[in-house]
C-alpha cells in the first residue's frame, strides 16, 4: 500500500522540479548566447579564414543571419 506523500516530501519534490526547470532554462540561455557569439564571429571572418573552414561568404552570411533560437 502506498503511503500518502507528506507535505515535506511534496515541497522537496516541487523544489527539485523548480531547480531542474531553472537548470534547463540556464542551459538554453547559454546555448543561445553561444550561437549569438559564434554567428557574430562568423560574420567578421575574412575570405581566407572562411576558405580555411570550407565556407563561402554566402554560406557564412546565411548562417549568421539566423535568429539565435534557430539551430
pLDDT in tens, 24-70: 999 999 999 999 999 999 999 999 999 999 999 999 999 999 999 99
Whole-number Å distance between alpha carbons of 51 and 71: 22
pLDDT in tens, 8-23: 676 767 667 777 888 9
pTM over 0.85: no
Any idea what DSSP says for residue 66? Answer: S
Distances 29 to 33, 59, 69 between C-alpha atoms, Å: 6, 25, 9
Whole-number Å distance between alpha carbons of 44 and 40: 7
Q: What is the largest CA-CA distance in the chain?
A: 70
Domain extents in the chain: 33-65
Alpha helix ranges (H) inside the chain: 7-43, 47-53, 57-64
Amino acid at each position: 500500500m502506498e503511503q500518502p506523500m507528506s507535505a515535506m516530501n511534496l515541497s522537496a519534490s516541487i523544489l527539485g522540479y523548480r531547480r531542474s526547470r531553472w537548470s534547463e532554462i540556464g542551459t538554453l540561455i547559454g546555448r543561445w548566447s553561444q550561437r549569438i557569439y559564434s554567428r557574430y564571429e562568423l560574420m567578421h571572418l575574412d575570405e581566407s579564414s572562411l576558405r580555411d573552414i570550407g565556407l563561402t561568404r554566402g554560406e557564412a552570411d546565411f548562417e549568421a543571419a539566423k535568429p539565435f533560437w534557430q539551430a
